[in-house]
Structures are given as structure tokens and as C-alpha cells.
Amino acid sequence: MNIVVHADNTGYAPKHERFHAIDDDSYDWAPDQRKASTIGYGATATEAILDWIEIAYDDGEITNDEARELMRIYGVKRGMWHWAYQDSAQSNR
């Protein structure tokens, strides 16, 4: 998994969607791509990565452990998303 963030510098994207994050290993940029890939959007690169992680987690594409590992790799602070830690606490009951 290789999350890549791109900025839309055209001025057409809304401010809250200026950056988009994709998994560069699975997104082929082809208009005829059969599987819709996960795309995260945000006002900053970090927000776009967080959006991508949340969507991929909610869709079952990544596990809770993978979400936490991606947050560590991309320097996301622990308190930014509570769901990644609530699930592990509930599963330890």
C-alpha cells in the first residue's frame, strides 16, 4: 500500500477538497477502471490521508491494525481519529 497525495492547484476544487489521497498501488488512473478505488479528500494532505484511511476502514478494505499502522507511517497523531482505538478496546473485552 502506497498512499499518494495530489493537490488540485487549478482553483476549481472546493477548499475542503483541495487535496486527494489514493493508493498508488491499486489506482491506475484509467477512465475505464473497473473497480472504483478509494479516494480521500481534504483541505490538507493529512486530512486527505485520514479520509482515505477512514473510508478504506469503513469499507472493510483495511483492518483496524492496518489503519493504525498507516496512521503511524504517515505521521497522523493518535487523537485525530477515535475509531481506530475504540475498536481494539472493544475487541479486548
Residue 45 near residue 17 (C-beta atoms within 8 A): no
- Bridge-based pairing of strands 39-42 and 19-23 is antiparallel
d(CA 70, CA 29): 22
Could you tell me the residue range of the domain that residue 77 belongs to?
3-91
Predicted local confidence at residue 30, as pLDDT? 63
Q: In terms of Cα–Cα distance, which of 31, 28, 22 is closest to 4?
A: 22
d(CA 90, CA 53): 20
pLDDT tens per residue across span 36-53:
578 899 999 999 999 999
Q: Which residues contact 92 (CB under 8 A, 6 or more apart)?
A: none
The pTM assigned to this predicted structure is 0.74
The structural domain count of the chain equals 1
